[in-house]
Amino acid sequence: MEKIFETQNVEQTEKLGAAVGKLLSEGDFLALTGDLGAGKTAFTRGIARGLGIDDAITSPTFTLINEYHDSVTLAHMDVYRLKNLEELQNIGFDDYLKGYIVVMEWADKVKEMLPVEVLWIDFRVVGDSLRQLKFTSNSPYYDKIVQELSV
C-alpha cells in the first residue's frame, strides 16, 4: 500500500517520525530515499524521540552507522558515500537485521542487500519548507503500521 504525507516544516517531519517510532519494534527496517536535504535525518530524529531515545541524533554520512542504545536499539545508517556493497558487508550489515530497528538513508543504493520486507519512505522537496513523504509498504506487517499512522 501507498500513503502520502505532507509536512510544512521540520518540526512536522520530526513529529511524523516520532509517530512512526512509537509503532516500531526490533527487527524493523525503514528504507529512506529522496533528495539531498529533504528531511531524512530530521525524520530519523523524530523516530528516535518516538522510541524514547534522548541522545542527539547526528547524520551518519561519514560513519555509515550510528547506534543508539536504550530500551531498544536504533541503528541509523546513511549509505550515500558507500563505495560498493562489500563495504557494507564488511561493517557487519547482516548483524543489524536482528535485534535492531534500522533506519537507512539512501537505501535505494543498496537494494540488493535489504531484507525482503521493508518500509520504504521517499522524501521529496516540494517547496522551501514543504516536503512530501511517500510511504510504500510491501507486507501486511508494514501496511498495518502505515494504517495506524494518523497525523
Ligand X SMILES: Nc1ncnc2c1ncn2[C@@H]1O[C@H](COP(=O)(O)OP(=O)(O)OP(=O)(O)O)[C@@H](O)[C@H]1O
Binding footprint of ligand X on the chain (CB under 6 A) = 7-10, 12-13, 36-42, 59, 78, 105, 123, 129, 131
From the list Mg ion, ligand X, none, pick the one residue 129 interacts with, judged by a Cβ distance below 5 to 8 Å according to partner type.
Answer: ligand X
Helix (H, G, I), strand (E, B), or coil: what is residue 111?
A: helix
The rounded distance, in Å, linking the Cα atoms of 58 and 99 is 22
Query: By CB under 5 A, is residue 45 in contact with Mg ion?
Result: no
Give the residue with the Cβ less far from ligand X, 6 or 67. 6
Task: Evaluate the CA torsion angle 49, 45, 12, 5 in order and state its sign.
Answer: negative
Phi, then psi, of 8 in degrees rounded to 5? -105, -5
Question: Exactly one of 41, 51, 60, 135 binds Mg ion (CB under 5 A); which one?
Answer: 41
We find the least distance from the C-beta atom of residue 32 to ligand X, in angstroms, to be 8
Question: Exactly one of 5, 15, 59, 124 binds Mg ion (CB under 5 A); which one?
Answer: 59
Q: Residue 47 corresponds to which cell in the numbers above?
A: 523516530
Provide the residue type at 107 as one letter.
A
Give the residue with the Cβ less far from Mg ion, 48 or 144. 48
Determine how many CB atoms are found less than 10 A away from the CB of residue 52.
12
